[in-house]
Amino acid sequence: MSLTCTGVTALHLGALCQSTDVLCFYNDHKLMEDLEVRSDEGFTPLHFAASQGRVSNIKYLSALGCDIDARGKDGSSPLHLAARSNKIEACRVLIKAGCKSFEDSVGMTPALYAYQGGNEELANLLDTVKSGSSVAHVEIERRLKRSLALAFKIAIEKDDLTMSAHYWYKP
């Protein structure tokens, strides 16, 4: 996934680098005044690092105290962008840092993006993010997500979104 953004800063671009060298330079020279600086789309440097799977930069920025659950204008968190980009290691690091799962502005969770992308391992990992759910509830929700992803895939392939209702899992 590539971010097409305007209003990016040097800090956003530094978060895209392969290593933390640029971010360390900015920090060492007191050039990182605002870790939460936003692009015109509302994305923080952590969003940029997550979208490209820059694990070392994710760890560095989160260690500096950036908001790991920051939302862009479309409601996407860094975890959403990592999931949409199929960056499983970035998702692991974000989850370990305490990221929460929630819906973006179109009602998609990071797990739903993983299911949509066909990455079962990532979807299962992201399903563990939901807190306070019983094992039975999580399993029913997992089946519903798989069913929903399959229903929409079939409906889109058949060019008939009304048929998606026929493929839903009903608990």
Tens-digit pLDDT profile for residues 59-116: 999 999 999 999 999 999 999 999 999 999 999 999 999 999 988 888 888 998 998 8
Higher pLDDT, 94 or 35: 94
| Per-residue b or e along 69-107, where b marks 16 or more CB atoms closer than 10 Å to that residue's CB | ebbbeeebbbbbbbbbbbbbebbbbbbebebebeebeee
Tens-digit pLDDT profile for residues 101-148: 988 888 888 998 998 888 989 998 998 886 434 555 566 667 777 777
**Can you give the residue ranges of every domain in the chain?**
10-98
Fold assignment, 10-98: 1.25.40
Both tokens assigned to 162 = 């009304």
